[in-house]
Structure 1
Amino acid sequence: MKLRPTKGFTLVELLVVIAIIGVLVGLLLPAVQAAREAARRMSCSNNFKQIGLGIHNYHSAYNQLPLHGSGTYVVGGRDLWDQPSPTSPTATGTSNHRLSMMVGVVPFLEQQALWEQISNPLAINSDGSTKSPPWQSMGPRPDERNYLPYVTELATLRCPSDPGSGLPSLGRTNYVACTGDSSYRSRDPYLNVNEKSDDASVTFPYTPNAGTANHSNAAHRGMFVLTRNVKFRDTLDGLSNTVMCGEIATDLGDKDARTSMPTSGGVGVTGERQNCHLNPSFMEATLDPLRPQFWIATVGTNSNWGRGYHWYDVMPIYGQVHTILGPNSPLCTDAGGGAGHGDLVATVSSRHQGGAHVLMGDGAVKFITDSIEAGDKTNPMVYLTGSAATKNQVGAQSPYGLWGALGSRASREVIDGEF
């Protein structure tokens, strides 16, 4: 009996099939990555919606927005934002009015247990050891790593596309308050006392300073104003036309110009008011010409002052965005090494492609593209002694186009299209 030969694949046919499979996998991988990023972006948007809902619930309960700049303060210093020396007896005794609006929202994000830790004396350290005497209610200085709430990271405050984690940051956040279209004196509260630079003879306890309040009234035009009780009714331009919070990318220690700042140089207060364009040579000398999103390798950055490193901290580098420079623009600071606790032009940024999310006053989440119309970025920002000649007098419409108009709450600007 004659046997038929067994049928099978030749080596050439197997190689062809493997090649076809390889090509198909190569074609599918970008689609899979795009689908994953779309899912992460949707999750990020949902987180922001939860925060918006929490802010609205807070307003329903207390008839005002959560205070941006709350907490206790040091009696005996002259600058509300100054932190005492780590060896000072008051070093761990106060949060120094530096708690962001996120602290007030915490119980409305289903984090009642964390709120109880913050609002009451806490007799435990972040490593589980006993603290005696206990931390005082509303917490210690904002960079205290032994305080458990400060090192607690909340999933609702993190964008899934942002990989940042671990020290030197404490609890990170990708969502911060919008303080408007002017960053002048962006670390100064609405009702501050005489500052160190203004009056060295101030006495205590704290008393309101009309000069600081005037500066704040002129420049701080966002939905959140430091230490000021703001209500939805103050947003005369309409809640659906005003940015309440913005997304930020957290610093990864890679000299990203959107998330870190040089430790030397700076453009001074005047340069900061002009968004660093008064001194373009500073930016040209520090940004990598081949990768303009990054500082050049020889520029040092302070690893402790990364963007988004403290979810609970009101300072500009940690807890503010401004609608001045377009999304994903480099940070602009007035004074290099001290920039972590100084004024800062800081816009929205993200690890998404082409833009970043914002939370509008009505709770809607929008994706703002990098190409949004942002007016004249060389125009000085609105502040107390601005002038009509330079279009930055008190009460002026935002010089930063549609993007700036979205940041100011009551400048009578009309938003006449989708964005």
Structure 2
Amino acid sequence: MKSGEKPSRGGFTLVELLVVIAIIGVLVGLLLPAVQAAREAARRMSCSNNFKQLGLALHNYHSAYNRLPMQGVGTKSGTVDGPLAGGANVFGSFFDHNVMQLSALVGLTPFMEQQALWEQISNPLFVDHNQNGTVDTGELYPAMGPTPQEIDGELYTPYLTEMQTLRCPSDPGRGLPAQGRTNYALCQGDSPLLSLYGNRGTTLAVDVAGAGWFTWGGARASQAGQRGVFKTHEFTGFRDVLDGLSNTIAMGEIATYLGDRDVRTSARTGQGAEGYITRCDGFTDPQRPRFWLSTATVDVADNPAFAGKARGYRWASHIPCQSSCFTIKPPNSLICANNSDDAGVFGMSSNHQGGAHVLMTDGAVKFITDSIEAGNQDSPTPTRAGPDTNIGGKSLYGLWGALGTRASRETIDAEF
């Protein structure tokens, strides 16, 4: 090296840099799916743990009261029409009672480490909406709150609370227009009949026979339709689960609506008295089978004002679309109904690959795949007009239906 010359420094050529970058890109491409899979496995385990906590809550509740919490519980006035009687009375202006529209999840709150929330709900509550320091109309709520629907649900703050125990980490849904999401729903068996009314009419009087709903008796209709662990407006207990606690589903996982036309979380409506049972398949988009056609009537998508018709939007509401599930169609199938918040096929679903979690009545948590045997999907369930067939009989929906019924004397001898 000549005097005065600077020593040369070694370096990478452009080609070498490009090769290194390409290698790093390949490695990232190989590792990213593994990282994502590990994250989803962790989220799935967290979801399963949430269900275990709910199972403990159910058993602790049963130990305390010798029965399970009621789906469709609450307070009522003896002079005002009951659920879905129509008009503003039901949806928006009940400040003195809640028309027995609370889900069983409300009663579970003190048993899943939500004692403070339960204290708010079970006592009179003042919410200063007008922020003037005085009690104005609609700001003082009674014990157990108003109906968790529409206007009242937006104002009554305890119902808006999102609890981590009720949320699956894999579900990205957050915030409005939802009013307290839940990814876990109460199983009501293999028939949607009476899942909204129970064996009561619009005035909440026991047995709807002669009230224009059934010609064959409300009690028999309840036997034919309410076949799951949970029954609307009626208490049940472990003693009623004749098929065995380990063979009967108590709760199922549901995905919540994300503002799209997902067939699992927004119901195809207007199907008539019987058409909603299994006959919505022709309205899915052939190019995107997980979504409804743009021409199909999906109230929550076509009219965002119908937030009550979005899956899992209100944990405190007993409306079937919000907090109930059925074992008719396999997990992650479409949902459809006559009216989306009325009786219909509201199945189980999840954002996990290939299936959804269920909570068995004995507290065990299982992952059910989409391919579970589900019998003849063209089999009709009982309707308001009858016939009153299959009361106490085996499920028409195969192993899946059998897992949802509590007292059909079915023997489960297959792996699930």
* TM-score band w.r.t. shorter chain: 0.7 to 0.9
Matched, 1:100 2:103: yes
Work out whether residues 82 and 99 of structure 2, in 8 Å CA contact, stay in contact via their aligned partners in 1: no
Residue 114 of structure 1 corresponds to 117
2:163 counterpart residue number: 154
Seen in structure 2, the aligned counterparts of structure 1 residues 212 and 196 have a Cα distance that, compared at 3 Å, is closer
Q: Pick one of 81, 88, 113 that aligns with 1:85.
A: 88
How far is 1:128 from its partner? Answer: 6.9
Work out whether 1:256 is the aligned partner of 2:257: no
Question: 1:382 Cα shift?
Answer: 5.0
Compute the displacement of 1:292 (Å): 1.7
Shift of 1:12: 1.9
Check conservation: 1:80, 1:195, Cα contact below 8 A. Answer: no
1:254 to 1:128, Cα distance in 2 relative to 1, 3 A: farther
- 1:393, CA displacement in angstroms? 2.0
Partner in structure 2 of residue 25 of structure 1: 28
Match of 2:172 among 163, 166, 170: 163
Aligned residue for 1:268? Answer: 272
CA, structure 1 residues 213+108, in 2 after alignment: closer, same or farther (shift >3 Å)?
same
**Aligned partner of residue 366 in structure 1, secondary structure:** strand
Query: Which residue number in structure 2 is paired with residue 65 of structure 1?
Result: 68
Question: Over residues 88-111 of structure 1, what are the superposed CA-to-partner deviations in whole Å (9 max), with x where a residue is unaligned?
Answer: 995333211111110010001111
1:39 aligns with 2:42: yes
Q: Pick closer, same or farther for the CA change 1:276–1:77 going to 2, 3 Å.
A: farther
Q: Give the match for residue 320 of structure 1.
A: 324
Partner of 1:352: 352
Tell me, yes or no, if the aligned pair for 1:323 and 1:406 is still in contact at 8 Å: yes
Distance 1:216 1:62 in 2: 24
Task: Give the C-alpha shift of residue 8 in structure 1.
Answer: 3.2
- Give the 3 Å change call, closer, same or farther, for CA 224–128 of structure 1 in structure 2: farther
- Give 1:290 deviation, angstroms: 1.1
CA contact (8 A) 2:82 2:90 kept: no
Please tell me whether the aligned partners of residues 183 and 343 of structure 1 are also in contact (alpha carbons under 8 angstroms). yes
Post-superposition offset of 1:27: 0.8
Query: After the TM superposition, which residues 240-319 of structure 1 pair with which residues of structure 2 at under 5 Å, given as runs?
Result: 240-262=246-268, 266-272=270-276, 275-277=277-279, 283-284=281-282, 286-299=283-296, 300-302=298-300, 303=304, 304=307, 305-319=309-323
Structure 1 position 415, deviation (Å): 0.9
Change (3 A) 1:64 1:296: same
What residue number does 2:19 align with? Answer: 16
Q: 2:52 aligns with which of 45, 49, 55?
A: 49
Q: CA deviation at 1:136?
A: 0.6
Q: Secondary structure at the match of 2:299?
A: coil
Taking the aligned partners of 1:364 and 1:127, their CA distance within structure 2 comes to 47
Give me the whole-angstrom Cα distance separating, in 2, the residues matched to 1:49 and 1:199: 41
1:205 maps to which residue? none
Aligned letter for 2:38?
Answer: A
Residues 81 and 96 of structure 1 are in contact (CA less than 8 Å); yes or no, is this contact kept in structure 2? no
Alignment of 1:199-218 (within 5 A): 199=211, 211-218=217-224
Cα distance in 2 for partners of 1:194, 1:61 equals 26
Distance in 1 separating the partners of 2:246 and 2:331: 19
Change in CA separation of 1:173 and 1:235 when aligned onto 2, cut-off 3 Å: same
Provide, for residues 163-195 of structure 1, a one-character-per-residue CA deviation record: whole Å limited to 9, x for no partner: 111222100100010000111222122454279
Structure 1 residues 136 and 399 mapped into 2: Cα distance closer, same or farther (>3 Å)?
same
Distance 1:89 1:163, change over 3 A: closer
**Preserved contact between residue 96 and residue 141 of structure 1 (Cα < 8 Å):** yes
Cα distance in 1 for partners of 2:48, 2:226 equals 26
* Cα drift, residue 332 of structure 1: 1.8
| CA shift digits 1:311-364 (9 cap, x unpaired) | 011111101100011111111212xxx422x11111100111111110000111
Q: Please give the secondary structure, in 1, of the residue aligned with 2:250.
A: strand
Gaps of 5+ in 1: 203-208
Matched-pair contact (CA < 8 Å) for 1:249–1:350: yes
Question: Alignment partner of 1:339: what SS?
Answer: coil
Q: Does 1:187 align with 2:196?
A: yes
**What is the rounded CA distance, in whole Å, between the counterparts of 2:128 and 2:70 in structure 1?**
26
Task: Give the TM-score of the pair, scaled to structure 2.
Answer: 0.88
CA change 1:359–1:195 in 2 (3 A) is same
Does residue 394 of the first structure (1) align with residue 391 of the second (2)?
yes
Question: How far apart in 1 are the matches of 2:23 and 2:226?
Answer: 60
Kindly indicate whether the alpha-carbon contact (under 8 Å) linking 2:208 and 2:218 is maintained by their aligned counterparts in 1. Answer: no
Quick one: structure 1 residues 127 and 47, their matched pair in 2 at CA, closer, same or farther if it must change by over 3 Å? Answer: farther
RMSD: 2.6
Tell me the distance in 1 between the aligned counterparts of 2:415 and 2:196.
Answer: 32
What SS is found at the alignment partner of 1:176?
A: strand
Note the C-alpha offset of 1:15.
1.6
Identity of aligned residues (%): 52
* CA–CA distance in structure 2, aligned partners of residues 27 and 309 of structure 1: 37
Q: Which amino acid aligns with 1:35?
A: A
Contact residue 68 and residue 99 of structure 1 kept, 8 A: yes
**Aligned-residue offset at 1:5:** 5.4
- Amino acid paired to 1:307: R
Letter in structure 2 aligned against 1:411 = S
* 81-90 or 51-60, which deviates more: 81-90
State the Cα distance separating 1:257 from its structure 2 match.
1.2
- With the length of structure 1 as denominator, give the TM-score of the two structures: 0.87
**Closer, same or farther in 2 for the Cα pair 1:88/1:180, shift >3 Å?**
closer
Amino acid at match of 1:271: G
Q: SS in structure 1 opposite 2:233?
A: coil
Show the counterpart of 2:334. 330
Provide the secondary structure at the position in 2 that maps to 1:318. Answer: helix
